[in-house]
Structures are given as structure tokens and as C-alpha cells.
Amino acid sequence: MSAAGQERELFVRHARKDGRSVAVLRAVDYGDACVVEAEVYPAGARNAAPSRPGPYTFADAQQATAFVTEAVEALMVLGCDVHAS
């Protein structure tokens, strides 16, 4: 990936259900790759710390956006409210 300082945040999506955070997805463009970082807050978890699956690396922003779009659609089917920030 590119040197530090070359990153550009593309977008962040927050998913909530019943007022509780479920997931946060953040896409970052590094110039030569695009990475999606995830924080997942499992229901019934013993602590408030999220799990962090990934990161998921893609060749470009289009592929990363398609990945996040599918994830957001799945979260909405599961009853989550998803908001951009």
C-alpha cells in the first residue's frame, strides 16, 4: 500500500438495531488499493469491545463500494437502520 498520509476515507456506514450499534464499516482509499475496515458488536457479547474482522482489501474503490453495498443490504434485511457519516 501507499506510504502513510496518502489515505483518503471514502465513507463510513453505521448499522444500528433497536438503538444498539451492530456494525461500523469504513472504506479507505490508499491509492493502490482500497480497504474496508469493520467493527462488529455481537448481540449478547460479554464486553462492549467490538470484534474487527478483516480488513478486506480490494483493487479499487468500485469493488470496495460493491462489497459494502451488499453488506448494508444484508444488514437492512436483518432489520438494521444504516446511516452514513
- Residue extents of the structural domains in the chain: 8-84
The reported pLDDT for the residue numbered 55 is 95
**Cα pseudo-dihedral 11, 17, 20, 25, rounded to 10:** -20
- What's the pLDDT tens digit per position in 7-63? 899 999 999 999 899 999 999 999 999 999 999 998 776 677 889 999 999 999 999
For residue 32, which of 68, 8, 55, 53 has the smallest C-alpha distance? 8
At 1 the pLDDT is: 46
Asked if 50 and 27 count as a contact pair (C-beta separation under 8 A), the reply is no
Ramachandran sector of residue 23 (left: φ over 0; alpha: ψ -120 to 50; beta: rest): beta
pLDDT beyond 70 at 64 = yes
Overall average pLDDT of the 51-80 stretch: 95
